[in-house]
Amino acid sequence: MPPSPLAIAGTESEKFRSGLLNAVGAYALWGIFPLYFLLLRPASGFEIVGWRILFSLVFCALLLTVTRAWPAFLAIARQGRLLGLMAVAAVLIYINWQTYILATLAGQVVETSLGYFINPIVTVLLGVLVLHERLRRMQWVAIAISAIAVLVLAFGHGSVPWVALVLAGSFGSYGLVKKHVGPRVDAVSGLTLETAWLAPVAVVVLVLVGQFGPGGIVLGSAGWGHSVLIVLSGVATALPLLLFAAAARRLPLIWVGLVQFIAPVIQFVIGVVVLGEPMPPERWAGFVIVWVALVILVIDMVRAAGRARGAASTAVEGPIG
């Protein structure tokens, strides 16, 4: 069997450099997704997600064939518990994809960026609620400040930022499931299982869009360029996930955590500068408060990583004197 495309080779320095490039590539691609999905108009958000699921499944099947990874995939698919966990992951990622694309097409790119800004804080909160983890003081401070930011945005904007909360909640929960699955399911097999679970849903959605949607099914009727872009949505979905999987195996967790902010920063810039979405003072205030919470969370993360390295070094070297 040929080596996995995600196999790790080289010196520690080379691994770090490769991992960092993979992480930056993954989050940069996720960051520019709004521009890509806006090119898929006049297809509706439901049609886009339907085709995205089906073409992702086709692309993953091709990857499994090219890398001769079907035996490993089938071994995973025969494990009932893993299969059930991947079904839960599929539901969560569907909620995330559908919310994200509907919001993007509705001109709410800035609010989608807010969802991914607060995602790390939601992940920390889920650790308390689901895994019963104990938080450090600065983590509690970051959560409290983020709650204040949501209140500021809700009162200032006149409505609760539901899009951001659904995106953060669904992706945070998805990450929790994937963490529980751990290395037992590789990136390609995981995405294949998730899209396989969602394929029947995608077919039903596309049938309903074709029957009752205002414009029906757009694929094939808006020019060959538009059709190619929809077909390539499968590649666009899988590629950053594969880059991220490669990065996660090469980089320390703290670096993955820091690099993840590339995506919402790019989305925010696209929403404000490129698409000209409104940013009244109360919205700026909410975002600034969120960024303060993130700075606190990052400082705490860096300190905790430093303490962990120091403890590991002491354990290896032994006490001096």
| 319 vs 94, more confident | 94
With DSSP H G I counted as helix, E B as strand and the rest as coil, what are the percentages for the chain, rounded to 5? 80, 0, 20
209 inside domain? yes
Tokens of 261: 């902010």
Q: CA 215 to CA 196: how far, in whole Å?
A: 27
Tokens of 263: 């995506």
Q: CA 111 to CA 151: how far, in whole Å?
A: 14
Q: What is the reported pLDDT for 31?
A: 94
Supply the range of the domain harboring residue 146.
Answer: 12-311
Q: How confident is the model at residue 4 (pLDDT cuts 50, 70, 90)?
A: very low
Q: Are 279 and 110 in contact (CB under 8 A)?
A: yes
* Residue 248 identity (one-letter amino acid): A
37 inside domain? yes
Average pLDDT score, the chain: 86
pLDDT(165) > 90:
yes
User: Which whole number is the average pLDDT over 142-154?
Assistant: 87
321 inside domain? no
Angle at CA of residue 259, ends 103 and 177, nearest 5°:
65
Q: CA 131 to CA 177: how far, in whole Å?
A: 11
pLDDT(224) > 90:
yes
18 inside domain? yes
Query: Cis bond leading into 252, ω under 30°?
Result: no
Q: Are 54 and 97 in contact (CB under 8 A)?
A: no
Q: How confident is the model at residue 320 (pLDDT cuts 50, 70, 90)?
A: very low
Per the structure, the count of domains in the chain is 1
Q: What is the reported pLDDT for 154?
A: 84
Q: What is the reported pLDDT for 282?
A: 87
User: Which whole number is the average pLDDT over 211-234?
Assistant: 89
User: Which whole number is the average pLDDT over 189-213?
Assistant: 93
- Find the length of the chain: 321
Q: CA 270 to CA 265: how far, in whole Å?
A: 9
Rg, C-alpha atoms of the chain: 21
pLDDT(222) > 90:
no
- DSSP secondary structure, 268-281, as one string: HHIIIIIS-----H
4 inside domain? no
pLDDT tens per residue across span 9-64: 557 777 888 888 988 999 999 999 999 999 999 999 999 999 999 999 999 999 99
pTM of the model: 0.86
User: Which whole number is the average pLDDT over 180-197?
Assistant: 88
